[in-house]
Amino acid sequence: MKLVVGISGASGTQLALRFLEHVPQEYALFVVMSQSAKRVARTEARLDLKSTLKAWPRPLELFEESQIDAPIASGSFGIDAMAIIPASLNIIAKIAHGICDELMSRCAAVILKEQKKLLIAPRELPLHSIALENLLTLARAQALIAPPMLTYYTNPQNLESMELFLVGKWLDALGIVNNLYARWGQPC
């Protein structure tokens, strides 16, 4: 199985890293980061995103948004699913309007045309009507819109357990089995 993870320049690069930590080993991972994602990681977390991902403790193929000739830019490569975490309003607008001027938006367009799963985790607050309409357009194109919403029913004790809930819900949405959070009816 081939999974692409897009990291855009919305707040919360750490959520993408937490997600990458929990993708099962049997998935081949392809990561595309935007220029803005690198800037946000530096600003918010004092993190060099490229170096962090290059040293990632499991194999992954890393791409810059400029690498429009990457294998993941083609439907023939056979990507099974893509998750954009976190998703900026910019990347959402581009995908909703069919703009494919760099690798992340091109890959998302390929996923949609091939009718594979595209998960989008929009991160902005509040959301204006343009963003909401773009998200509706994507939902109608069968994208899964899954923003990082806080959980309370799982009784999270810290930020890590809140993040694990989100990652678990994203993996659920992609059909990837996980045990990252207490499900309703299970003891927390």
Ligand X SMILES: Cc1cc2nc3c(=O)[nH]c(=O)nc-3n(C[C@H](O)[C@H](O)[C@H](O)COP(=O)(O)O)c2cc1C
Angle, to 10 degrees, between the axis of helix 13-21 and the axis of helix 35-45? 100
**Interface map 52-91 toward ligand X (x if CB under 6 A):** ------------------------------------xxxx
Structure letter (DSSP) for residue 182: P
Measured from the CB atom, the residue of 3 and 41 that comes closer to ligand X is: 41
Can you tell me which of 2, 22, 28, 36 binds ligand X, judged by CB under 6 A?
36
Q: Which residue has the tokens 């919360």?
A: 12
Cα separation, 77 vs 181, whole angstroms: 33
* Side-chain half-sphere CA neighbours of 75 within 13 A: 8
Q: Which is nearer to ligand X, 34 or 134 (CB)?
A: 34
124 binds ligand X (CB under 6 A): yes
Q: Tell me: does residue 43 bind ligand X (CB under 6 A).
A: yes
Q: Is 19 helix (H, G, I), strand (E, B) or coil?
A: helix
Residue nearest to ligand X (CB): 9
Q: How far is the CB of 106 from ligand X (least distance, A)?
A: 12
CA 66 to centroid of chain Cα atoms: 18
User: Given the rule CB under 6 A, which residues bind ligand X?
Assistant: 8-11, 34, 36-37, 39-40, 43-44, 88-91, 123-124
